[in-house]
Structure 1
Amino acid sequence: MTPAFAVPTIDITAFRTDADDTARAAVAAAIDTACREVGFMQIVGHGIPDDAIAGLTGALDEFFALPLEVKKRYRRSTSENRGYSPPRSESLSLSLGLPTANQMNDFYEAFIVGTQSADFPELDLPASSYAANNWPDAAPGFRPAIDTYFAHAQQLSRILLRAFTAALHLPADHFDTLTDHSIDALKMNNYALPEGELRLDGDMTGMGAHTDFGILTILWADRVPGLQVLDKHGHWHDVQPAEDALLINLGDAMARWTNDRWMSTIHRVDPPIINGHIRRRRSAAFFFDGNHDAVIEPLPGTLAPGEQGYPPITVAENITAKVAGLKGVATPAPTARETARVLAATPT
C-alpha cells in the first residue's frame, strides 16, 4: 500500500506582519515539519496581489502565443541562463546525472529572467551567474508584468528565509551575508505545443525528475495535473496547488546546509496526454539561490560527532554543474543519494 502523503498548507501571515513570538514560533514549527517530512509545502497569506499574478499569467500567454521562429530570436546560450528554451532543448534528469533514452526529451518550452550584474553596480559580479536579461520586444506587455511579479517574489523569498531561519533556531541575520546579492531567477514554463508541430510519444516527459538548485523555490502553477513529488518511500504523488496558494520547495543549497535534515525533494512534471497532445499547463518557478560566492556547508549542530557531511561548494559551482548537465553540455558528477532514489522509485 502506498503510504499516506500530503503537502501541508501553511499560513505565513505572522512573518509578514508584527505578529507576536508565539504566532511566529507556530509557523516556524510547521515549516520545520514540512521541510523534514515532505520538502514541499503550500503557503497562503503570502501577500502577492491578485493583479500581480494576473499580470504574470497574461505575460506568459502573450509571449508563448508568438510563433516559434519569433520566440527563437530570444534563445538563451548554453553559458548564460537567461532567455528562451524551445521544446526538447533540455533534459532536467541529466542534472542528477541520470541517463535518459532520448537525451533532450523534456517537451516544455521556457523563458528565464533573473538578477543581473547591473543590479549590483557596486560589486564586480560574474556575468556567468548574473547574465543580462534578453527581454522579448515582440511581446511589449511582457517585461512590465514580469518585473512586477519578480519584485513581489523577491520580497516573499526573503520573508520565507526569515521563517526558515527561525525554524532552524539560527540568529535572525544568519543568512544575510549569504543572500545580499542573491542569484534570483524566474523560469516560466509552457506545456502546450501548436497542433501538428510535435506529437508526443512514450519516450518523452514534460519535465524530467530533478531537484532545484538553490535555497528555495516559489512556484505558481495552473491547477492542472502534472506535478509529481517523490516521497521518502520511493512513491510518486500528484500535487496541485490549492486555490490562491503558492507551492514552496527547498533546493540543494538548503539541503546541504542542513545536512539533509531538510529535504531537497525530487519532483517532475507529466501533464495529461490526450490523443498524442497535452492538456495545456503553465507554471512560473522563482528560484532564490543565494550569492554566487556563498559557501554551502553543514550548519552548526547539523553533524553528529564523526559524521561526514557534504563537501563545501559555492552556490555558483553547484548551479553551473547542474545547468550544464540539463543542457547536455556536460553531465555532472551524480549526487548518489538523489540518483539512487529516482532509480529505485516505484513506477506510476
Structure 2
Amino acid sequence: MTEFLVPTVDISSWAGDGSPEERSRVARDLDHACRTVGFIQIVGHGVPASVTDGLAAAVDDFFTRPLDVKKRYLRPAAENRGYSPPKSESLSYSLGVDPVTRMNDFFEAFNVGASAADYPHAVVAADDYAANTWPAENLDFRTRAESYFAHARRVAHTLTRIFAAALGVEPGWFDTFTDHSLDVLRMNNYALPPGEIELGADLTGMGEHTDFGIVTVLWADQVAGLQILGADNTWHDVQPADGALLVNLGDITARLTNDVWMSTLHRVKPPVVDGTIERRRSVAFFHDGNADATIRTLPQFVPVGEEPLYDPVTVKEHILAKLNGSRAGLKNTTAVREAARVHAAR
C-alpha cells in the first residue's frame, strides 16, 4: 500500500522576494498538492511563533472558563459569531449526511470574522458581515486573536496569488471576488471537564465535512484526531509538522476547477483514554470570498461537449446552505457529490 502523505510546500518565495523560477516551482508544487490531496503543510508562511503562542493562550483563557460564562457570548446561528456550545452543531448535516444523533459534534467554538465596518469601500449587508462579540473578562483575548487573524488573512491572500499562477489566470484574478471576503476565524476546543457531557457511542469530535469557501488556513495542536479522506476512500490521520500551518481547499475552489482541485472531506475523532478526551485545540481561518460574488466553473476545466459539474451559485447562497445544515439543523440537500463521497468512505 502506498504511504499517505500530505505534501509540504515552502511559500517563502511568494511571501518575500522570490525569483520567477522559485515562484513557478512553488505554483507547480501547490497545483500538484491541490489535485492529489487537497491538504498541504505550509512552511515559510512568516507567522511568528509569538503570534501563534499568543493565540494558543487566548484559546486556553476562554475555553477554561465555566460554561455559564461562555454562554454569555451565544449569538444567533445565522450570524456565525460568538460561542457555540458542545453538541450544538453537526458538520455532517452541512453535506446532507445524517449523523448518529441530530446535533452531536463534541466540540465547542468561538467565532469572529470580518464585519461590515471592515469594508467601507463596499456596499455590504450587516446581516452577512456581522459585528463581533469579544469576551469582556480578558482584553488580551481580542488583541491576540486579531493579531493572528491579520497574519492568517495575509497567508490566505498569498495563497490565492499562487493559486492564480497555478491556474493560469491573471495575477489579480482572485481579488475580483475577495475584496470584501467573508473571512471567519473559528477557535475550536475538543476537551471538557469530566462529567459535563455523557461519553457514548455517538461521540464525534467534529463530523465529516468539507470547508465552505476558497481556502482554509489552520493552526492546530500536534495531537491526534484530525483525519482526511484519501483518494483510496479511507480515512488517514494528519497532524501539523513543526512550525507548519495546515492548508486545505474549500468548496468554492472545487467549483471553480470542476473538482480538479479537491475540497477534501475531513473530520475530527477525539482520542478517548479511560473515559476522558485528550486535549486538542485548533484555529481555522476561512477565506470564503465576497458574499455577492457568483462562482462559475472556469471554462478551461470543463471538457469539450460536457457541462460543468456545478451550477453557478453566489458565495452567500452556498455558505448559507452549509451553515443552515451544520448550525441550524436544516439538512443541506444540495451537496450531492460530497455526500456520495462520505457514503463511499471506508
Length-normalised TM-score, structure 1:
0.97
Which residues in structure 2 correspond to 1:108-257 (within 5 Å)? 108-257=107-256
Residue 13 (structure 1) aligns with: 12
Deviation at 1:181, TM superposition (A): 0.7
Percent identity over paired residues: 55
Residue 337 (structure 1) aligns with: 337
Deviation at 1:76, TM superposition (A): 2.0
Residue 318 (structure 2) aligns with: 318
Deviation at 1:139, TM superposition (A): 2.7
Deviations 1:226-247 (A, max 9, x none): 0000012211000010000000
Residue 18 of structure 1 aligns to which amino acid in structure 2?
D
Residue 24 (structure 1) aligns with: 23
Residue 327 (structure 2) aligns with: 327
Q: Which moved more, 1:30-39 or 1:304-313?
A: 304-313
Residue 275 (structure 2) aligns with: 276
Deviation at 1:182, TM superposition (A): 0.7
Query: Partner of 1:156: helix, strand, or coil?
Result: helix
Deviation at 1:79, TM superposition (A): 2.0
Q: Is the 8 A contact 1:103 1:328 kept in 2?
A: no
Question: Following the alignment from structure 1 to structure 2, what is the Cα–Cα distance between the partners of residues 273 and 327?
Answer: 25
Question: Following the alignment from structure 1 to structure 2, what is the Cα–Cα distance between the partners of residues 294 and 60?
Answer: 32
Query: Partner of 2:31: helix, strand, or coil?
Result: helix
In the alignment of these two chains, the number of paired residues is 345
Question: Following the alignment from structure 2 to structure 1, what is the Cα–Cα distance between the partners of residues 334 and 225?
Answer: 25
Q: Is the 8 A contact 1:289 1:315 kept in 2?
A: yes
Deviation at 1:300, TM superposition (A): 2.9
Residue 257 of structure 1 aligns to which amino acid in structure 2?
L
Question: Following the alignment from structure 1 to structure 2, what is the Cα–Cα distance between the partners of residues 336 and 330?
Answer: 15
Deviation at 1:127, TM superposition (A): 2.1
Deviation at 1:99, TM superposition (A): 0.8
Query: Partner of 2:117: helix, strand, or coil?
Result: helix
Question: Following the alignment from structure 1 to structure 2, what is the Cα–Cα distance between the partners of residues 342 and 332?
Answer: 14
Query: Partner of 2:301: helix, strand, or coil?
Result: coil
Q: Is the 8 A contact 1:324 1:331 kept in 2?
A: yes
Q: Which moved more, 1:93-102 or 1:194-203?
A: 194-203
Question: Following the alignment from structure 2 to structure 1, what is the Cα–Cα distance between the partners of residues 331 and 15?
Answer: 41
Query: Partner of 1:62: helix, strand, or coil?
Result: helix
Question: Following the alignment from structure 1 to structure 2, what is the Cα–Cα distance between the partners of residues 224 and 230?
Answer: 18
RMSD of the TM alignment (CA)?
Answer: 1.0
Deviation at 1:169, TM superposition (A): 1.2
Deviations 1:116-166 (A, max 9, x none): 001112332112321010111123221011111101111111011101111
Q: Does 1:87 align with 2:81?
A: no
Q: Is the 8 A contact 2:90 2:329 kept in 1?
A: no
Question: Following the alignment from structure 2 to structure 1, what is the Cα–Cα distance between the partners of residues 22 and 139?
Answer: 43
Q: Which moved more, 1:255-264 or 1:137-146?
A: 137-146
Question: Following the alignment from structure 1 to structure 2, what is the Cα–Cα distance between the partners of residues 340 and 289?
Answer: 23
Residue 99 of structure 1 aligns to which amino acid in structure 2?
D
Question: Following the alignment from structure 1 to structure 2, what is the Cα–Cα distance between the partners of residues 156 and 168?
Answer: 18
Q: Is the 8 A contact 1:199 1:276 kept in 2?
A: no
Question: Following the alignment from structure 1 to structure 2, what is the Cα–Cα distance between the partners of residues 220 and 240?
Answer: 10
Q: Is the 8 A contact 2:208 2:267 kept in 1?
A: yes
Residue 130 of structure 2 aligns to which amino acid in structure 1?
A
Length-normalised TM-score, structure 2:
0.98
Deviations 1:35-85 (A, max 9, x none): 000000001000001111111001000111111000000012122110000
Deviation at 1:4, TM superposition (A): 2.8
Deviations 1:166-190 (A, max 9, x none): 1111110111111111111000000
Question: Following the alignment from structure 1 to structure 2, what is the Cα–Cα distance between the partners of residues 203 and 242?
Answer: 30
Unaligned runs of 5+ in 2: none
Q: Is the 8 A contact 1:93 1:209 kept in 2?
A: yes
Question: Following the alignment from structure 2 to structure 1, what is the Cα–Cα distance between the partners of residues 182 and 119?
Answer: 11
Unaligned runs of 5+ in 1: none
Question: Following the alignment from structure 2 to structure 1, what is the Cα–Cα distance between the partners of residues 123 and 9?
Answer: 38
Q: Is the 8 A contact 2:93 2:329 kept in 1?
A: no
Q: Which moved more, 1:196-205 or 1:251-260?
A: 196-205
Deviations 1:233-281 (A, max 9, x none): 2110000100000000000000000111100000000121112220010
Residue 305 of structure 1 aligns to which amino acid in structure 2?
V
